[in-house]
Structure formats: structure tokens, C-alpha cells
């Protein structure tokens, strides 16, 4: 694929040969030939228009906490949203409307809501990554998901226009939202509706959610759960019963703590992680006849690989 030449107005935010491993929590994978790092919605729209005019498809990465990037050179440009990090606050009666850029870290707005006693994000306490990534995958826990807080979502279309959609118009389900259906749309911001509560009440609710995390590996490089739970079963339990706990391929290892987490040891390759994930998927299929679907999103592996 040819190397696109960025227009002058985008030169500052278009970088070449950027290693992507440090932009992900797994810490594996290759290098983006072109990384676009917009700092505001207008730059994002301009970048989308430029890529469209060059007829280039692109990948999107936010906090990289749910992504496995392929090894080697990633030819298609990668849009990295982390610098879309503006937050503004307005009030509507006792409600708080938090307008967040897609690259705002969930943990930062959760910390703010804890400090101010705003209720509405306790169910996503402790989830890494950005607002954009959370909306695409409807991030959540047993206590609920991000969808319940979403008032509105703004996006940039593939042709560089701005669009909005109300939270209630979006179809939300377990680790899925209809926002992902238009593969070219890029979430640029979201308005979250929170309610004034007390610091004590928000702390208590969040503590409960955070307590559930003690069953997950702590401090390891992972991308969260590799597989979604199938209907009325736990993927982690099935993986454990299929003998996956502790399995490894190269430096990629299934966590000893929770069988639905793959850890990166010794700077393993993305290929090792992918091979191990497929091995585990096969073992569960052999034992239960159930093909687990991937929760992790793959980037740069080619169409159809690890689709969930």
C-alpha cells in the first residue's frame, strides 16, 4: 500500500512508523505506518475527509485495552483518539451533563464523579480505556453497563461530516452497540447524564463493583476478557473446565487467576496471543460444542480473524 501524504493542515498530527504496543494494555503488536492523532473534532473530521479522498480504509484505537494489534507493519492508517480528551460540564436541574471527547479515559470521569458525588458511572468503575471504546463495546460489569448513562453520541462520518444520535436510539446489548455497525464512523464525543447524589453513596456502589475485580489478574498485561460469555454460561468457567488455565504459547499465557484472561509475558508476539486464544476456543468447542465469540477486537490481522 502506498504511503499517503498528509495535507499541510494535518502535518502536525500525522506521524509515521509509530509502535502500537505501547498504546495498548496488552503491550504486543507491530508498528503503524501512519498514525493520525487528532486533538479536536475538527481535526478528526479533516483527517476522515483526507483518508476518504485517498480512498484509504483505517483502524481506530482508543485506550487499546480491548485490542490485539497484529505483529509487523500495519499498513492502513490508524486513528488514535486519546487526544480527544476535552471534558465540559453543564447542569439540568439536579442532573449533570458531562460532554466528553471520545479519548477521555473512563477512569478520569469516574474519579470526577466520585469526587463530586455524581451517580451514573458506578457500574463501570475500574474499567480501563476511553469513552469511545466503552461505547462501541457497551463496556460494563454485572452491575450494569455504560449505556444507562448515555444521553447522546457525536461521531464523524467516513466523509468527514458530523452526526449525532440520542442514547435511546442506539441499540445496546451485552458488550455490543449498534454504533459498531457503521465500521467507518468514528465516535468523536459523548454526552453522559449523571445525577447529583452523595460522595458516600457513590463510593459505596463503586466499592461493590470494584470488589468484583478481585477475581481478575492484577498487574498483568492483558486486554480484559478474551471471550464474551455465551448465553447463560460463563466463558471463564468453560475455559477453566476445558483445561485452559495456565496454558501458554511462547510468552502468551492463560492467567492462573482467571481463564478468560491472556497475559503477555516476556514481550510475546501478537501471533502467540492469537494462537493461544484460538487454541482455547478450540478446546471449549471440543468439550462443550460451543464456539466462544471474541470480546477482544483484532487490528491488522485481516478480515474475519477473531471476529466476535
Ligand X SMILES: Cc1cc2nc3c(=O)[nH]c(=O)nc-3n(C[C@H](O)[C@H](O)[C@H](O)COP(=O)(O)OP(=O)(O)OC[C@H]3O[C@@H](n4cnc5c(N)ncnc54)[C@H](O)[C@@H]3O)c2cc1C
- By beta-carbon proximity to ligand X, the closer residue of 34 and 130 is 130
Q: x/- site string to ligand X, residues 86 to 125, per CB under 6 A?
A: ----------------x-----------------------
For residue 259, the minimal CB distance to ligand X (Å) is 15
Q: Contact, 109 vs 135, CB < 8 A?
A: no
Sign of the four-CA dihedral 238, 242, 247, 249: negative
> Of these residues, 43, 122, 225, 263, which one is catalytic?
225
Annotated catalytic residue 295: yes
Q: If binding is defined by CB under 6 A, does position 20 make contact with ligand X?
A: no
- For ligand X (CB under 6 A), the number of binding residues is 29
Q: If binding is defined by CB under 6 A, does position 258 make contact with ligand X?
A: no
Q: If binding is defined by CB under 6 A, does position 277 make contact with ligand X?
A: no
From the list 64-72, 158-166, 195-203, 274-282, the region that binds ligand X by CB under 6 A is 64-72
Q: If binding is defined by CB under 6 A, does position 60 make contact with ligand X?
A: yes
Q: If binding is defined by CB under 6 A, does position 38 make contact with ligand X?
A: no
Q: If binding is defined by CB under 6 A, does position 149 make contact with ligand X?
A: no
Cell numbers placing 54: 485517498
- By beta-carbon proximity to ligand X, the closer residue of 130 and 281 is 130
From the list 27-35, 61-69, 91-99, 269-277, the region that binds ligand X by CB under 6 A is 61-69
Spatial separation of the C-alpha atoms in residues 3 and 51, rounded to whole Å: 11
Q: If binding is defined by CB under 6 A, does position 300 make contact with ligand X?
A: no
For residue 92, the minimal CB distance to ligand X (Å) is 25
Cell numbers placing 142: 454485572
Q: x/- site string to ligand X, residues 174 to 213, per CB under 6 A?
A: ------------xx--------------------------
- By beta-carbon proximity to ligand X, the closer residue of 55 and 215 is 215
The three state secondary structure string of the chain is CCCCCCCHHHHHHEEEEEECHHHCCCCCCCEEEEEECCCCHHHHHHHHHHHHHCCCCCEEECCCCCEEECCCEECCCEEECCCCCCEEEEEECCEEEEEEECCCEHHHHHHHHHHHCEECCHHHCCCCCEHHHHHHCCCEECCEEHHHHEEEEEEECCCCCEEEEEHHHCCEECCEEHHHHCCCCEEEEEEEEEEECCHHHHHHHHHHHHHHHHHCCCCCCCCCCCECCCCCCCHHHHHHHCCCCCCEECCEEECCCCCCCEEECCCCCHHHHHHHHHHHHHHHHHHHCCCCCECCEEECCCCCCCCC
> Of these residues, 43, 122, 263, 295, which one is catalytic?
295
Q: If binding is defined by CB under 6 A, does position 35 make contact with ligand X?
A: no
Q: If binding is defined by CB under 6 A, does position 222 make contact with ligand X?
A: yes
Where along the sequence are the contacts to ligand X (CB under 6 A)?
25, 60-67, 81, 102, 127-130, 132-134, 136-137, 139-141, 186-187, 222-224, 297
Which residue numbers are catalytic?
Answer: 175, 225, 295
Amino acid at each position: 500500500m502506498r504511503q499517503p501524504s498528509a495535507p499541510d493542515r494535518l502535518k502536525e498530527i500525522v506521524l509515521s512508523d509509530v509502535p502500537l504496543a505501547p498504546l495498548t494494555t496488552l503491550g504486543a503488536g507491530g508498528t503503524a505506518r501512519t498514525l493520525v492523532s487528532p486533538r479536536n473534532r475538527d481535526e478528526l473530521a479533516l483527517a476522515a475527509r483526507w483518508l476518504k479522498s485517498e480512498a484509504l480504509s483505517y483502524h481506530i484505537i482508543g485506550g487499546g485495552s480491548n485490542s490485539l494489534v497484529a505483529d509487523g507493519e500495519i499498513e492502513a492508517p490508524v486513528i488514535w483518539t486519546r487526544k480527544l480528551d476535552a471534558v465540559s460540564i453543564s447542569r439540568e436541574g439536579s442532573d449533570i451533563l458531562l460532554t466528553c471527547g471520545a479519548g477521555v479515559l473512563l477512569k478520569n470521569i469516574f474519579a470526577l464523579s466520585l469526587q463530586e458525588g455524581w451517580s451514573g458511572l458506578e457500574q463501570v468503575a475500574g474499567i480501563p480505556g476511553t469513552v469511545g471504546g466503552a461505547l462501541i463495546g457497551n463496556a460494563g460489569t454485572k452491575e450494569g453497563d455504560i449505556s444507562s448513562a448515555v444521553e447522546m453520541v457525536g461521531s464523524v462520518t467516513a466523509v468527514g461530516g458530523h452526526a449525532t444520535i440520542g442514547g435511546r436510539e442506539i441499540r445496546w446489548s451485552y458488550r455490543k452497540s449498534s454504533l459498531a455497525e457503521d465500521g467507518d464512523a468514528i465516535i468523536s464525543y459523548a454526552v453522559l447524564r449523571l445525577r447529583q447524589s452523595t460522595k458516600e453513596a457513590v463510593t459505596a456502589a463503586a466499592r461493590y463493583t470494584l470488589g468484583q475485580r478481585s477475581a481478575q489478574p492484577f498487574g498483568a498485561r492483558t486486554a480484559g476478557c478474551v471471550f464474551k460469555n455465551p448465553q447463560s454460561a460463563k466463558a471463564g468457567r468453560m475455559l477453566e473446565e476445558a483445561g485452559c488455565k495456565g496454558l501458554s504459547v511462547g510468552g502468551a499465557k492463560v492467567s492462573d487467576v482467571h481463564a478468560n484472561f491472556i497475559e503477555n509475558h516476556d514481550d510475546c508476539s501478537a501471533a502467540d496471543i492469537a494462537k493461544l486464544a484460538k487454541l482455547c476456543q478450540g478446546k471449549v468447542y471440543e468439550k462443550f460444542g460451543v464456539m466462544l465469540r471474541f470480546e477482544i477486537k483484532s487490528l491488522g490481522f485481516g478480515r474475519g480473524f477473531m471476529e466476535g
